[in-house]
Amino acid sequence: MSAANAPERTDALVQVRGLSTELNGKTIFDRLDLDVPRGKITAIMGPSGTGKTTLLRHITGQLMPDAGEIRVDGHNVPTLARGELFDLREKIGYLFQNSALLTDFTVFENVAFPLRQHLKLPEEILRNIVLTKLQAVGLRGAAELMPSELSGGMARRVALARAIVRDPMLILYDEPFVGLDPIALNQILKLIRTLNDTLGITSILVAHEFAAVGRAADHVYLIAGGKVAAQGTPAELARGESDWTRQFFGGEADGPVPFQYPARDYAADLGFPPSGRTERAR
Protein backbone atom coordinates (compact mmCIF):
# COMPACT_ATOMS: atom_id res chain seq x y z
CA MET A 1 0.00 0.00 0.00
CA SER A 2 1.51 3.34 -1.04
CA ALA A 3 2.02 6.17 1.45
CA ALA A 4 -0.69 8.22 -0.27
CA ASN A 5 -3.15 5.42 0.39
CA ALA A 6 -2.12 4.83 4.00
CA PRO A 7 -5.29 4.25 6.01
CA GLU A 8 -6.46 6.91 8.44
CA ARG A 9 -8.64 5.47 11.18
CA THR A 10 -11.57 7.67 12.06
CA ASP A 11 -14.99 7.13 13.64
CA ALA A 12 -16.48 7.08 10.18
CA LEU A 13 -15.83 3.89 8.23
CA VAL A 14 -16.83 5.63 5.01
CA GLN A 15 -16.11 9.29 4.42
CA VAL A 16 -17.20 11.06 1.26
CA ARG A 17 -15.82 14.54 0.64
CA GLY A 18 -16.56 16.83 -2.30
CA LEU A 19 -17.82 14.00 -4.52
CA SER A 20 -18.73 15.24 -7.97
CA THR A 21 -19.94 12.96 -10.73
CA GLU A 22 -21.43 13.60 -14.13
CA LEU A 23 -22.89 10.73 -16.16
CA ASN A 24 -24.12 11.15 -19.75
CA GLY A 25 -24.06 14.93 -19.35
CA LYS A 26 -26.20 14.84 -16.19
CA THR A 27 -24.84 15.98 -12.85
CA ILE A 28 -25.35 13.14 -10.36
CA PHE A 29 -23.34 14.48 -7.43
CA ASP A 30 -22.32 18.07 -6.84
CA ARG A 31 -19.66 18.23 -4.10
CA LEU A 32 -21.45 15.67 -1.93
CA ASP A 33 -20.24 15.14 1.65
CA LEU A 34 -21.35 12.37 3.96
CA ASP A 35 -20.05 10.10 6.73
CA VAL A 36 -21.00 6.52 7.56
CA PRO A 37 -20.17 5.81 11.22
CA ARG A 38 -18.59 2.49 12.19
CA GLY A 39 -20.92 -0.19 13.52
CA LYS A 40 -24.08 1.68 12.54
CA ILE A 41 -26.71 1.21 9.88
CA THR A 42 -26.86 4.22 7.60
CA ALA A 43 -29.67 4.48 5.10
CA ILE A 44 -29.36 6.36 1.82
CA MET A 45 -32.71 7.46 0.49
CA GLY A 46 -33.82 9.70 -2.31
CA PRO A 47 -35.91 9.95 -5.46
CA SER A 48 -35.33 7.47 -8.29
CA GLY A 49 -32.34 8.37 -10.44
CA THR A 50 -30.78 10.49 -7.75
CA GLY A 51 -27.58 8.40 -7.69
CA LYS A 52 -27.99 6.08 -4.69
CA THR A 53 -26.67 3.02 -6.52
CA THR A 54 -24.00 5.21 -8.17
CA LEU A 55 -22.85 6.23 -4.69
CA LEU A 56 -22.47 2.56 -3.71
CA ARG A 57 -20.49 1.96 -6.92
CA HIS A 58 -18.21 4.87 -6.00
CA ILE A 59 -17.68 3.51 -2.50
CA THR A 60 -16.68 0.11 -3.88
CA GLY A 61 -14.49 1.50 -6.65
CA GLN A 62 -16.67 0.19 -9.49
CA LEU A 63 -17.02 3.72 -10.78
CA MET A 64 -14.49 6.56 -10.60
CA PRO A 65 -15.76 10.02 -9.62
CA ASP A 66 -14.93 13.18 -11.56
CA ALA A 67 -13.69 14.78 -8.35
CA GLY A 68 -13.67 14.21 -4.61
CA GLU A 69 -12.45 11.79 -2.02
CA ILE A 70 -14.07 8.54 -0.91
CA ARG A 71 -12.36 6.99 2.07
CA VAL A 72 -13.28 3.46 3.19
CA ASP A 73 -11.55 2.37 6.38
CA GLY A 74 -9.06 5.16 5.71
CA HIS A 75 -8.22 4.12 2.12
CA ASN A 76 -8.94 6.67 -0.59
CA VAL A 77 -10.79 4.36 -3.01
CA PRO A 78 -10.32 6.28 -6.31
CA THR A 79 -6.53 6.20 -5.90
CA LEU A 80 -6.22 2.50 -5.05
CA ALA A 81 -4.44 0.16 -7.47
CA ARG A 82 -6.47 -2.85 -8.67
CA GLY A 83 -4.78 -5.26 -6.25
CA GLU A 84 -5.35 -2.89 -3.31
CA LEU A 85 -8.96 -2.42 -4.35
CA PHE A 86 -9.47 -6.20 -4.41
CA ASP A 87 -7.91 -6.46 -0.94
CA LEU A 88 -10.40 -3.87 0.30
CA ARG A 89 -13.33 -5.57 -1.44
CA GLU A 90 -12.56 -8.79 0.39
CA LYS A 91 -13.77 -6.94 3.49
CA ILE A 92 -16.94 -5.63 1.85
CA GLY A 93 -20.20 -7.44 1.18
CA TYR A 94 -22.44 -6.13 -1.59
CA LEU A 95 -26.05 -7.03 -2.22
CA PHE A 96 -26.93 -6.21 -5.82
CA GLN A 97 -30.31 -4.79 -6.79
CA ASN A 98 -30.90 -7.74 -9.16
CA SER A 99 -29.20 -10.33 -6.89
CA ALA A 100 -26.54 -11.13 -9.58
CA LEU A 101 -26.35 -14.83 -8.65
CA LEU A 102 -24.03 -16.96 -10.78
CA THR A 103 -26.49 -18.87 -12.94
CA ASP A 104 -24.22 -21.90 -13.51
CA PHE A 105 -24.00 -22.68 -9.80
CA THR A 106 -26.45 -24.01 -7.23
CA VAL A 107 -27.58 -21.87 -4.32
CA PHE A 108 -25.00 -23.62 -2.11
CA GLU A 109 -22.16 -23.01 -4.57
CA ASN A 110 -23.18 -19.37 -5.00
CA VAL A 111 -22.86 -18.76 -1.28
CA ALA A 112 -19.68 -20.85 -1.10
CA PHE A 113 -18.09 -19.00 -4.06
CA PRO A 114 -16.27 -16.23 -2.11
CA LEU A 115 -14.99 -18.80 0.42
CA ARG A 116 -13.71 -21.16 -2.28
CA GLN A 117 -11.98 -18.33 -4.12
CA HIS A 118 -10.16 -16.79 -1.17
CA LEU A 119 -9.87 -19.36 1.61
CA LYS A 120 -8.61 -22.92 1.61
CA LEU A 121 -11.16 -24.25 4.08
CA PRO A 122 -11.80 -27.96 4.70
CA GLU A 123 -14.98 -28.96 2.89
CA GLU A 124 -16.80 -29.78 6.14
CA ILE A 125 -16.14 -26.34 7.65
CA LEU A 126 -17.06 -24.60 4.40
CA ARG A 127 -20.29 -26.58 4.27
CA ASN A 128 -21.19 -25.62 7.83
CA ILE A 129 -20.52 -21.93 7.20
CA VAL A 130 -22.62 -21.92 4.04
CA LEU A 131 -25.50 -23.80 5.67
CA THR A 132 -25.39 -21.43 8.67
CA LYS A 133 -25.73 -18.41 6.39
CA LEU A 134 -28.49 -20.08 4.36
CA GLN A 135 -30.30 -20.93 7.60
CA ALA A 136 -30.06 -17.25 8.60
CA VAL A 137 -31.91 -16.22 5.43
CA GLY A 138 -34.33 -19.15 5.69
CA LEU A 139 -33.13 -21.02 2.62
CA ARG A 140 -31.07 -23.95 3.95
CA GLY A 141 -33.58 -26.27 2.32
CA ALA A 142 -33.01 -24.60 -1.05
CA ALA A 143 -29.25 -25.25 -1.06
CA GLU A 144 -29.36 -27.58 -4.06
CA LEU A 145 -31.68 -25.47 -6.21
CA MET A 146 -30.44 -23.55 -9.23
CA PRO A 147 -30.95 -19.75 -9.37
CA SER A 148 -33.46 -20.22 -12.20
CA GLU A 149 -35.68 -22.18 -9.77
CA LEU A 150 -35.86 -19.32 -7.25
CA SER A 151 -38.38 -16.49 -6.99
CA GLY A 152 -37.06 -12.91 -7.01
CA GLY A 153 -37.35 -12.65 -3.23
CA MET A 154 -35.57 -15.98 -2.68
CA ALA A 155 -32.76 -14.97 -5.04
CA ARG A 156 -32.33 -11.76 -3.05
CA ARG A 157 -32.04 -13.75 0.18
CA VAL A 158 -29.44 -16.06 -1.38
CA ALA A 159 -27.52 -12.98 -2.54
CA LEU A 160 -27.71 -11.65 1.01
CA ALA A 161 -26.32 -14.94 2.37
CA ARG A 162 -23.46 -14.65 -0.14
CA ALA A 163 -22.81 -11.02 0.85
CA ILE A 164 -22.45 -11.92 4.54
CA VAL A 165 -20.69 -15.27 4.15
CA ARG A 166 -17.26 -13.82 4.98
CA ASP A 167 -18.51 -11.63 7.84
CA PRO A 168 -17.37 -8.40 6.15
CA MET A 169 -16.62 -5.14 7.98
CA LEU A 170 -18.98 -3.24 5.66
CA ILE A 171 -22.11 -4.42 3.88
CA LEU A 172 -23.80 -2.42 1.15
CA TYR A 173 -27.44 -3.30 0.58
CA ASP A 174 -28.85 -2.03 -2.71
CA GLU A 175 -32.65 -2.19 -2.45
CA PRO A 176 -32.74 -5.30 -0.20
CA PHE A 177 -36.49 -5.19 0.44
CA VAL A 178 -37.77 -5.25 -3.15
CA GLY A 179 -39.83 -8.36 -3.90
CA LEU A 180 -39.86 -9.68 -0.33
CA ASP A 181 -43.08 -10.85 1.28
CA PRO A 182 -43.83 -9.42 4.76
CA ILE A 183 -42.43 -12.51 6.53
CA ALA A 184 -39.15 -12.49 4.59
CA LEU A 185 -38.91 -8.69 4.90
CA ASN A 186 -39.28 -8.89 8.67
CA GLN A 187 -36.65 -11.64 8.94
CA ILE A 188 -34.21 -9.77 6.69
CA LEU A 189 -34.70 -6.60 8.74
CA LYS A 190 -33.95 -8.57 11.90
CA LEU A 191 -30.92 -10.16 10.24
CA ILE A 192 -29.50 -6.79 9.16
CA ARG A 193 -30.00 -5.45 12.69
CA THR A 194 -28.53 -8.60 14.31
CA LEU A 195 -25.45 -8.59 12.09
CA ASN A 196 -24.94 -5.01 13.02
CA ASP A 197 -25.44 -5.45 16.75
CA THR A 198 -23.61 -8.75 17.27
CA LEU A 199 -20.69 -8.51 14.84
CA GLY A 200 -20.33 -4.74 14.77
CA ILE A 201 -20.69 -4.70 11.00
CA THR A 202 -21.24 -1.32 9.39
CA SER A 203 -24.11 -1.23 6.93
CA ILE A 204 -25.19 1.10 4.18
CA LEU A 205 -28.76 0.57 3.17
CA VAL A 206 -30.21 1.96 -0.04
CA ALA A 207 -33.98 1.63 0.06
CA HIS A 208 -37.24 3.39 -0.67
CA GLU A 209 -39.38 1.73 2.03
CA PHE A 210 -39.27 4.29 4.84
CA ALA A 211 -41.24 2.09 7.25
CA ALA A 212 -38.63 -0.67 6.91
CA VAL A 213 -35.72 1.76 6.96
CA GLY A 214 -37.15 3.39 10.08
CA ARG A 215 -36.98 0.04 11.91
CA ALA A 216 -33.42 -0.77 10.89
CA ALA A 217 -31.42 2.40 10.30
CA ASP A 218 -29.60 4.48 12.88
CA HIS A 219 -29.10 7.40 10.53
CA VAL A 220 -30.69 8.43 7.24
CA TYR A 221 -29.35 10.60 4.43
CA LEU A 222 -31.84 11.97 1.95
CA ILE A 223 -30.02 12.73 -1.30
CA ALA A 224 -31.55 14.95 -3.96
CA GLY A 225 -30.16 17.32 -6.55
CA GLY A 226 -26.67 15.89 -6.17
CA LYS A 227 -26.37 16.90 -2.52
CA VAL A 228 -27.53 15.78 0.93
CA ALA A 229 -30.97 17.38 1.14
CA ALA A 230 -31.65 16.21 4.70
CA GLN A 231 -30.19 13.90 7.30
CA GLY A 232 -30.94 12.66 10.78
CA THR A 233 -32.44 9.75 12.63
CA PRO A 234 -35.52 8.15 11.03
CA ALA A 235 -37.68 9.79 13.69
CA GLU A 236 -36.25 13.25 12.93
CA LEU A 237 -36.81 12.85 9.20
CA ALA A 238 -40.30 11.46 9.70
CA ARG A 239 -41.30 14.78 11.28
CA GLY A 240 -40.84 16.31 7.81
CA GLU A 241 -39.42 19.66 8.88
CA SER A 242 -38.01 20.56 5.46
CA ASP A 243 -39.64 20.76 2.04
CA TRP A 244 -37.51 17.79 0.90
CA THR A 245 -38.54 15.44 3.69
CA ARG A 246 -42.17 16.60 3.58
CA GLN A 247 -42.41 15.84 -0.14
CA PHE A 248 -40.36 12.63 -0.14
CA PHE A 249 -41.87 10.94 2.88
CA GLY A 250 -45.34 12.36 2.17
CA GLY A 251 -45.15 11.03 -1.41
CA GLU A 252 -46.31 14.38 -2.87
CA ALA A 253 -45.94 15.27 -6.55
CA ASP A 254 -45.36 18.97 -5.80
CA GLY A 255 -42.20 20.01 -4.04
CA PRO A 256 -38.51 20.51 -4.63
CA VAL A 257 -38.25 17.17 -6.47
CA PRO A 258 -40.01 17.41 -9.86
CA PHE A 259 -42.26 14.43 -10.63
CA GLN A 260 -42.12 15.13 -14.37
CA TYR A 261 -38.99 14.53 -16.43
CA PRO A 262 -37.90 17.79 -18.11
CA ALA A 263 -40.06 18.28 -21.22
CA ARG A 264 -41.32 21.02 -23.55
CA ASP A 265 -44.71 22.67 -23.14
CA TYR A 266 -47.40 20.02 -22.51
CA ALA A 267 -50.16 21.82 -24.48
CA ALA A 268 -47.83 22.38 -27.44
CA ASP A 269 -46.87 18.70 -27.34
CA LEU A 270 -50.57 17.79 -27.66
CA GLY A 271 -51.04 20.24 -30.56
CA PHE A 272 -52.84 23.01 -28.62
CA PRO A 273 -51.76 26.67 -28.30
CA PRO A 274 -48.77 26.87 -25.93
CA SER A 275 -49.65 27.46 -22.30
CA GLY A 276 -46.20 28.81 -21.54
CA ARG A 277 -45.52 26.00 -19.04
CA THR A 278 -42.52 23.73 -19.38
CA GLU A 279 -41.46 20.89 -17.13
CA ARG A 280 -38.01 21.51 -15.83
CA ALA A 281 -35.62 19.84 -13.47
CA ARG A 282 -34.77 21.78 -10.35
Partner 1 sequence: MSATRPRPSRIGDALAQVGACGLFLFQLIGAIPKSLRHIKETIRQVWFVGAMSLVIIMTCGLFVGMVLGLQLYDVLSRFGSAAMSGTVVALALYRELGPVVTALLFAGRAGTSITAEIGLMRATDQLAAMEMMAVDPLAYVATPRFLAGIVAMPLLVCVFNALAILGAHVVCVTWLGLDNGTFWSNMTTNVDVWTDVVNGVWKSAAFGAVVALIAVFQGYTTPPTSEGVAYATTRTVVFSSIAVLALDFVMTAFLT
Name the residues that contact partner 1, by CB under 8 A.
60, 62, 86-87, 89-90, 92, 94, 96, 98, 100-103, 113-114, 117-118, 162
Our CB check for partner 1 shows the closer of 20 and 62 to be 62
Q: What's the min distance (Å) between Cβ of 236 and partner 1?
A: 32
**255 in Cβ contact with 243 (< 8 Å):** yes
Measured between its terminal Cα atoms, the distance across the chain in Å is 42
Our CB check for partner 1 shows the closer of 113 and 266 to be 113
Q: What's the min distance (Å) between Cβ of 98 and partner 1?
A: 6
Q: What's the min distance (Å) between Cβ of 273 and partner 1?
A: 24
Rg of the Cα atoms in the chain:
21
Our CB check for partner 1 shows the closer of 96 and 221 to be 96
Identity of the amino acid at 143 = A
Our CB check for partner 1 shows the closer of 158 and 223 to be 158
Q: What's the min distance (Å) between Cβ of 62 and partner 1?
A: 6
**163 in Cβ contact with 94 (< 8 Å):** yes
